Structure 1
């Protein structure tokens, strides 16, 4: 009997819900974990390690790794049109997997995929001779940093403490501020939607878990107000915590 090539039964068993992100993790044919995302008129399947499409690029686990090897062998390497097309593909693949990890609350995996995307953005800026093309990706850096900060904070909350989650948000906000400063947009920082959402998350954690100032926030406040003896004590305590 000829095996059907359509997806009718699969799509019927998993209806698309446009009001939410439809994601699941299932076992593949060889018992490996795979991610699936139900989209309008179809299903995306993503590998959980390496590139989401499971491809090797000339033996490398990703196009980012491949390009880093190219640059190592040829320091003056410049991106070709094919490179740019493949980079675009890799950006999209890692975006899809990142939001899957967030939806499934695999926060550390989301951080890893965000870091991959940020490194790929850095490489684009370094190797491309087309600033306009680079900027098409760079404009999404705040969004990737937002996801990364959100994931790191929720991971810290899940595994450690609310104070460490708050500090993760503060680190993310500092990185985002540096981006705004770099692009002469610092005056828009406080009103940016992504910044507002991170601040709201931070303050909701303070309220829900009764967290005042974090140790690092107290240290920064002491230094700012020239309370150096207190700052030294707080710095020692911070070092002690970080080494245990």
Structure 2
């Protein structure tokens, strides 16, 4: 009987690791299902493309987050995040981080947005039910990073669809949401110096210049008020109100 090969020597020799650079590819499983693979320093990470990246179904649910939501309804006031549940939440955060990086590397921005939104929902839930503030902070410190990825990917997805003005609107919404997070954590004074804020602002400027997009209504309104053009400001305010209702 032939001895079954249990190593991945040939795979690693054919696919070099490059320090500091995500190396990602799509692959196909033995059952023809789609997979993602990331080359890491000492091997390969393989992930599913839907639901949980590791392919597990916690208590029969597509993700651990969905299981927790169902458990919270079922258990009611007795629901709590014990040590085991906290550990499983950490695992899911870590898995979705890796897959989000993979999607961004492959420029599959819609998938990156979906995984970022999952992480943010899980973060909202875990922070709201955290056993203590310190554990919640361990995750909350990464909220700007996840929001940055979500905003960046959503804007790039719109640019792929040749919708530059929508991309600018998404960037503005992302920056406003980030500013709110900084204010919630009494860190508003650090907002303008934040790396993710700077990168989103640079991206916004680049899109505006490349596609020759004029100032938004909100920017025109701010400029009119600064120039004491109050009649024009009133007109722009009305237009802005109408656009918000549509």
How does the TM-score come out when normalised to structure 1? 0.92
Of residues 225, 233, 236, the one that matches 1:230 is: 236
Say yes or no: does 1:192 pair with 2:198: no
Say yes or no: does 1:206 pair with 2:208: yes
SS of 2:76 mapped into structure 1: coil
Cα gap change, 1:82 to 1:146, in 2 (>3 Å): same
Unaligned runs of 5+ in 2: none
Cα RMSD for the two superposed structures: 1.9
User: How many angstroms apart in 1 are the aligned matches of 2:243 and 2:187?
Assistant: 36
| Aligned-pair CA distance for 1:237 | 5.1
SS of 1:75 mapped into structure 2: helix
User: How many angstroms apart in 2 are the aligned matches of 1:64 and 1:152?
Assistant: 22
Write out per-residue CA displacement over residues 82-128 of structure 1, whole angstroms, 9 at most, x where no aligned residue: 00110010000000000101111111111110011011111111112
Cα gap change, 1:11 to 1:193, in 2 (>3 Å): same
Aligned length: 240
How does the TM-score come out when normalised to structure 2? 0.92
Cα gap change, 1:148 to 1:159, in 2 (>3 Å): same
User: How many angstroms apart in 1 are the aligned matches of 2:61 and 2:224?
Assistant: 48
Give the equivalent residue in structure 2 for 1:57: 58
| Aligned-pair CA distance for 1:26 | 1.4
SS of 1:105 mapped into structure 2: coil
User: How many angstroms apart in 1 are the aligned matches of 2:220 and 2:103?
Assistant: 33
| Aligned-pair CA distance for 1:73 | 1.0
Give the equivalent residue in structure 1 for 2:116: 114
| Runs of 4 or more consecutive aligned structure 1 residues displaced over 2 Å after TM superposition | 214-240
Unaligned runs of 5+ in 1: none
User: How many angstroms apart in 1 are the aligned matches of 2:126 and 2:82?
Assistant: 11
